[in-house]
Amino acid sequence: MAGQPGFFDVDERYAALSAAGDPLERLAAVVDFEIFRPVLDAALARSDRSRGGRPPYDAVLMFRVLVLQALYSLSDEQAEFQLRDRLSFMRFAGLGLHQTVPDAKTIWLYREQLKQAGAIEALFRRFDEVLVSKGYLAMGGQIIDATIIAAPRQKLTLEEKATIREGGTPEGWSRAKRAQKDQDARWTLKRGRTKPKSEGHQRQAIQIAVPVFGYKSHIGIDRRHGLIRRWAVTDAAQHDSRSFDGLLDPENTASRVWADTAYRTKRNLEVLERRGLSERIQFRRPPRRPLSELQAKANATRARIRSGIEHVFAAQKHRMALFVRTIGLARAQVKIGMANLAYNFTRLAWLSTRVAPA
């Protein structure tokens, strides 16, 4: 029939996408998603379907959908729509034009099963094993830092906020309301500086503090390859230094550890000494006194290296538009954990075209 799309029309569309440099096709060629199947099957624990019913979507196909969500900051509803609308998304997920697309509820339930099984950390470790097998060992020392990931602000009374801060649940909240309110996220102040403005012959930057509500993503990367090796998620109010110990990677082949001044505590320095690691943590300025010339030079050198971790946060918060839409710490861990895993996927795709593994 004239004008009716045929099989070869779809092939031509896919060929055109490939010719244009589809990044998802490149990612699928670099990452073998089948390696995650054993972990996913163990986490999902699906029945043998002896009682019948509609067969579930393939576990790896659904995992690819979560990767798309992480890469493009898609809600469940947006993911469903984009899978129907975009050929590149369909091809990456492994869906044909004749196949049904998982709806938003199915995507939510799949992610919820992974949360309940605590599978994200196991998936992350599995991919780290693959990185090592490909020659991308953790090398050159490690860099540790944290960043705040925003979440939707809660509309609460002062009394409700006080109760939640103390770890309780406000009186009178129904089960439905508790399910809609995030009691794990916290407010904190994000400190920074404005851009310098000319005032006479001097350029001055003003310190500012912006209130932010959400969670905090703590990561450790290896200096050589810039891959995330360790990660943790807490509420936004927790101090960066409290997660330091758990972010240290014992597999890194070098002993040096870089971090900013927030991590320079007596406890953290003792942890490094006990583990035989060499600290490269930036010095804090003493109250009402400047740093010594030697400390200032050391800070400048350490800052140049430590800044490498900011590229990871920039990729996640700008290119991937990382934002926690879910409710509760456990779901935030899945969301941020998937973002860390997706970042490593894209980083491997970049590394495989530019550097030879060690």
pLDDT in tens, 82-118: 999 999 999 999 998 888 999 999 999 999 999 999 9
170 and 253, same structural domain?
A: yes
Q: Tell me which residue range forms the domain holding 141.
A: 124-354
What angle do the packed helices 37-44 and 104-117 form, to 10 degrees? 90
61 and 132, same structural domain?
A: no
Is 2 a member of any domain?
Answer: no
The pLDDT tens digits for 132-178 are: 999 999 999 999 999 999 999 988 888 988 988 888 889 889 888 88
215 and 170, same structural domain?
A: yes
- Could you give the number of structural domains in the chain? 2
The pLDDT tens digits for 281-306 are: 999 998 889 999 999 999 999 999 99
187 and 101, same structural domain?
A: no
230 and 185, same structural domain?
A: yes
- Amino acid 171: pLDDT: 87
- What pTM was estimated for this model as a whole? 0.91
242 and 184, same structural domain?
A: yes
304 and 204, same structural domain?
A: yes
136 and 113, same structural domain?
A: no
Instruction: Burial-class residue 25 by CB neighbours within 10 Å (0-12, 13-18, 19+).
Output: middle
Question: 197 vs 101, 192, 203, 239, 276, CA distance in Å?
Answer: 53, 15, 5, 31, 45
157 and 244, same structural domain?
A: yes
Alpha carbon distance 114, 331 (integer Å) = 10
